């Protein structure tokens, strides 16, 4: 008697079970609850199978009168905001569900970098929630999440792609080989682009945060009215401290009332200079790598001059450019959620002994 006859029914049954499991795996959903608290925004988001169902952000206006983020005040505000923000994110994602938390498969949170007190609030909340629900924990690198914000929505790049990541504390060119393998091929050696915007805005007498105000006034000015220094830095690295000094020395030579009379042109010229520094480097990165899919990420990617500049450069040279929606540019939990989604699929989980870190390690290859 052949083996087929002996095991015939068992083979058929196993095949049916296998097919059923395949169907169940196809129908199964992966739900991530994400928490972001690295600076002065308390945010929570729900991601189901890579689709963002909610993205709630509570900003803090208290820092405006101090001219910058006060870490202690930010931490206290996170403590006040985190429960209602998470609750709102769950309710928006599951408006008809009687119970929200049972649908969550994992808790993702920003582990680094950021303000340590702020990170502690989000980290401890996520760990407590994961422990009480017996759910896995996913630690997310903030800068990785900014890059992967480009994977939110239908229009997303294929791998590999280049990403110009521009925020208040970081300016990097990242080569993304997969969601979990990112290589930093260029970065600032001093100030970040976001710092350049805020510091020059302060020189112009603009309140914090100054970057969005420069963008607003720049739309009304002549970007070629004044010329400021563009530091020539080797390879694909950046420098913005020289620009700040150039603006400072220029303004010190002017007569009283000059800034007020020329505010629009000054803002337009400063923004144009910063954008040109960024675009020249990303153009060089495309030439060196041969990769013609270019993404933008980070809080400064909300700047209208940078968004338009990258789009025009892409059209001119035949690149495919990808720019996240405004809500996914500044600090948000949706980018933490999409990163958590890919880490969940790869089985990259953290244990309850995981601690937040104020600074990311300075390494060239980041494998998450």
Buried b or exposed e, range 326-356, using 16+ CB within 10 angstroms: eebbbbbbbbbbbbbbbbbeeebebeeebeb
Alpha-carbon dihedral angle through residues 162, 166, 169, 170, given to the nearest 10 degrees: 20
CA 69 to chain centre: 18
d(CA 200, CA 243): 9
Question: Are the CB atoms for 147 and 178 separated by under 8 Å?
Answer: no
Looking up tokens 């100030």 gives 191
Q: Report the pLDDT value the prediction gives residue 28, as an integer from 0 to 100.
A: 64
Q: Report angle CA 299, 37, 141 to the nearest 5 degrees.
A: 70
User: 161, 321 in Cβ contact below 8 A?
Assistant: no
Cis? peptide before 113, omega within 30° of 0: yes
pLDDT, position 224? 98
- As a whole number of angstroms, the distance between CA 172 and CA 143 comes to 9
Structure-block tokens of residue 197: 């915007």
Domain spans of the chain, in order of start: 31-148+331-367, 158-323
Query: How far apart are alpha carbons 120 and 160 in whole angstroms?
Result: 34
- Determine the Cα–Cα distance for residues 2 and 74; give it in Å rounded to an integer: 73
Classify 158-323 by CATH class. Answer: alpha beta
pLDDT at 368: 47
Mean pLDDT by 10 residues, the chain (368 residues): 33 40 54 95 96 93 76 91 96 81 93 95 97 96 96 94 92 97 95 93 93 96 96 94 94 96 98 98 98 96 96 97 94 97 97 90 46
Residue 188 region, left (φ>0) first, then alpha (ψ -120 to 50), else beta? beta
Are 169 and 194 in contact by the 8 Å Cβ rule? The answer is: yes
336 and 156 Cβ atoms separated by less than 8 Å:
no
Tell me if 31-148+331-367 shares its fold with 158-323: yes
DSSP three-state, residue 54: strand
- The two three-digit tokens of residue 187, written as one number: 């970065």
What CATH architecture is 31-148+331-367? Answer: 2-Layer Sandwich (3.30)
Rounded Cα gap, residues 4 and 15, in angstroms: 14
Q: What is the pTM of this model?
A: 0.88
């Amino acid at each position: 008697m052949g083996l087929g006859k002996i095991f015939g029914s068992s083979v058929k049954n196993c095949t049916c079970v296998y097919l059923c499991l395949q169907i169940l795996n196809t129908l199964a959903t992966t739900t991530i609850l994400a928490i972001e608290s690295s600076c002065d925004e308390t945010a929570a988001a729900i991601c189901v199978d890579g689709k963002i169902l909610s993205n709630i952000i509570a900003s803090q206006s208290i820092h405006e009168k101090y001219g910058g983020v006060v870490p202690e005040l930010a931490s206290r505000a996170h403590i006040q905001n985190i429960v209602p923000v998470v609750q709102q994110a769950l309710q928006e994602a599951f408006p008809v569900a009687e119970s929200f938390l049972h649908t969550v498969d994992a808790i993702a949170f920003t582990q680094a970098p950021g303000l340590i007190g702020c990170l502690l609030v989000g980290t401890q909340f996520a760990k407590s929630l994961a422990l009480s629900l017996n759910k896995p924990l996913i630690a997310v690198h903030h800068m990785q999440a900014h890059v992967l914000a480009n994977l939110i929505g239908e229009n997303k790049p294929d791998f590999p792609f280049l990403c110009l990541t521009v925020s208040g504390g970081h300016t990097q060119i990242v080569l993304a080989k997969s969601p979990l393998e990112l290589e930093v091929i260029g970065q600032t050696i001093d100030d970040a682009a976001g710092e350049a915007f805020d510091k020059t805005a302060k020189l112009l007498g603009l309140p914090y945060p100054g970057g969005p105000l420069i963008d607003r006034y720049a739309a009304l000015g002549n970007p070629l009215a004044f010329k400021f220094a563009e530091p020539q830095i080797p390879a694909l690295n950046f420098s913005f401290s020289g620009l700040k000094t150039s603006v400072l020395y220029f303004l010190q030579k002017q007569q009283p009332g000059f800034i007020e009379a020329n505010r629009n042109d000054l803002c337009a010229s400063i923004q144009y200079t910063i954008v040109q520094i960024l675009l020249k480097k990303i153009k060089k990165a495309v030439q060196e790598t041969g990769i013609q899919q270019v993404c933008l990420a980070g809080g400064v990617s909300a700047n209208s001059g940078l968004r338009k500049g990258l789009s025009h450069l892409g059209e001119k040279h035949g690149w495919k450019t990808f720019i996240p929606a405004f809500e996914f540019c500044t600090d948000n939990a949706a980018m933490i959620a999409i990163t958590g989604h890919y880490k969940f699929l790869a089985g990259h989980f953290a244990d309850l002994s995981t601690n937040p870190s104020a600074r990311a390690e300075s390494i060239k290859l980041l494998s998450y």
